[in-house]
Amino acid sequence: KILITGAMGQLGSELTTVLRDHYGANNVIGTDIRRPEEGSPLLEGPYELLDVLDGQKMAEIVKNEKVDTIIHLAALLSATAERNPKFAWDINMGGLVNALEVARENNTSFFTPSSIGAFGPSTPKKDTPQDTIQRPTTIYGVTKVSGELLCDYYFQKFGVDTRGVRFPGLIGYVTPPGGGTTDYAVDIYYDALKKGSYESYIDKGTFMDMMYMPDALNAIIQLMEADPKKLIHRNAFNISAMSFDPEMIAAEIKKHIPEFTMTYQVDPVRQGIANNWPDNIDFTAAIEEWGFKTEYDLAAMTKDMLEKLRIKLNIKDR
Ligand code: VAH
């Protein structure tokens, strides 16, 4: 059985559904600090209230349900974390160490994501290597690097089967993103359909790695099912599908909505975070060690996002 923390989040909500389809609904327990509203797909399988700072409750669920895999997603993302650094440290690290302790005590396998946010201004910005300098200047990045090291430690010291990837910005139409720097790449599709225009808080020329949600979900399943003997890096694999700046995604949207216009109102905080992240990362290790691959590039993602959002938002005239 699989336990997912942060199941109500942008990634957690879609991963819970996909894993239930893949492994059987009753084998995937969604948990978060709040209960979803009635009718939520999250309630189509086992769901428990869980604050990841409550290690005792987490241990009880893992023991009672005979959980053998913990997927720990509960965390504050970069922009939100920057507004509440102490709270971000408490949740991101307090939650992680609780989850790792429960994994150690119950001998479960373990997945938690890192991020391109684990890199900083002194990291090579282009073709960022799998193994390189990591001196992030955001509290989010500090918790991501600390998390990578903690997961490596639990593997080396206690043999916990920890695995993880460094996610790029994730783009999906099911659940809105929650407080990230890359959220503009989701918001732009919603506004293109609702308003025919978008005011970007990230400046033109700011390149960041991105990935369509279906590819991110597949990557988690692929890594968790990979042969552990082949994993040299194990935690924090660089993965990405594309790198673009606001101008490129706007141009792709214009192919579908010719009257779409883009303006800029740069947010210094999130622009400051984006400036310190790579332009594009090298993900050769993920390809070599567990066959990482993606299906969606910017054109395919844009076509699918607009199709799915037209239905979700019931918009026919754009
Ligand atoms: C954020 N979407 O913007 C997250 C992610 C790589 C970006 O960590 O904080």
Token pair for residue 10? Answer: 């942008």
Q: What is the pLDDT of residue 317?
A: 86
pLDDT of 29-55, one tens digit each?
999 999 999 999 999 999 999 999 999
Cα of 64 from ligand 1 centre, angstroms: 33
pLDDT of 66-116, one tens digit each?
999 999 999 999 999 999 999 999 999 999 999 999 999 999 999 999 999
Token pair for residue 12? Answer: 């957690």
Please say whether the beta carbons of 34 and 8 come within 8 A.
yes
Best mutation site among 77, 144, 201 for ligand 1 pocket (most ligand atoms within 8 Å of CB): 77
Please identify which residue in the block is written with the tokens 């684990």. Answer: 118
For the question of an ipTM over 0.90, the answer is: yes
Please identify which residue in the block is written with the tokens 């492994």. Answer: 23
**DSSP assignment of 89-119, as one string?**
HIIIIIHHHHHHHHHHHHT-EEE--EEGGG-
**Residues known to be catalytic:** 140
Q: Whose CA is nearest to atom 4 of ligand 1?
A: 180
Cα separation, 128 vs 244, whole angstroms = 15
Q: What's the predicted TM-score (pTM) here?
A: 0.97
Token pair for residue 314? Answer: 């019931």
Q: Which residues of the chain have pLDDT under 70?
A: none
Could you identify the atom of ligand 1 that is nearest to the CA of residue 209?
A: 6
